[in-house]
Chain A
Amino acid sequence: MKSKTEKLLRVMNILAWVVFIGLMIVAGSIIISYFVSIGNAQASKDLYRGMDLSAYRQHSFAQYTFVVGYKVILYITQAYIAFMVTSLLSRLNIYKPFNADVVKLMQRISYSILFVWLVAIVHNIHVGILEKNYGLVATYISVDSIFLAGVVYVLAQLFKRGAEIQSENELTV
């Protein structure tokens, strides 16, 4: 019989897959809408579910491309994080949870969250400058993810120590 934790992890794995697919769809939709908007400026009014970047499009195509680029990079990185979570959960053995693969994935997740934070900061600075100089209304992206990156990194270090202890335990006869 499966334990409650195992069931929970399986549900989390399915959820992570859903999030991964959802974020890839969002990123794909924005990219397609962007290419449509190259020829048809009207498309920039609704890139994805009401994402209106037409003000940037009218101001400068290069700035518009930058803002779209930030958003696409953010969604793709988030999708990558969700993908890493799915592979982490599928590799996680509940009876021997501490292993090198899990540690590596957790570290990679924390670096990716840090990257998301950096992109969000650059995006916010960029749109802030555009707002200040040209009066384009800016929509800022939350930059709280730095805390999350730190927490995941600390957990990765704990798992690293756990992996060492587990290896010592396995090599005790």
Chain B
Amino acid sequence: MAKRKMSLNELSEKVDLTLSNLSILKTGKAKAIRFSTLEAICKVLNCQPGDILEFVE
């Protein structure tokens, strides 16, 4: 988001996701993510799922 110079509000509008849901994603509280949401975020940010997902032990 920082690289694309995009605010949370802008992303929420483009991905069609509420700010509270985006915040859940950002803070790592989300228990699951739909493929459609992942696809939309990747499309808007022009990146791969691996760029926004990270495995942490």
B52 within 8 A of A: no
- One of B1-9, B29-37, B42-50 at the interface: B29-37
Chain B interface residue count, CB cutoff 8 Å, equals 12
Which residues between 125 and 173 of chain A lie within 8 Å of chain B, taking CB atoms?
A: 167-168, 171-173
Nearest residue in B to A171 (C-beta to C-beta)? B31
Q: How far does the Cβ of B45 sit from chain A's closest Cβ, in whole Å?
A: 15
State which size class the interface on A falls in. Answer: under 10
Q: Which of A167, A168, A173 counts the most chain B CB atoms within 10 A?
A: A173
Q: Which of B24, B29, B31, B34 counts the most chain A CB atoms within 10 A?
A: B31
Within the assembled complex, what's the spacing in Å between the Cα atoms of A167 and B31? 9
Within the assembled complex, what's the spacing in Å between the Cα atoms of A171 and B24? 7
**Chain B residues in 8 Å Cβ range of A167:** 31
Chain A interface (Cβ < 8 Å from any Cβ of B)? 167-168, 171-173
Chain B interface (Cβ < 8 Å from any Cβ of A)? 17, 21-22, 24-25, 29-34, 37
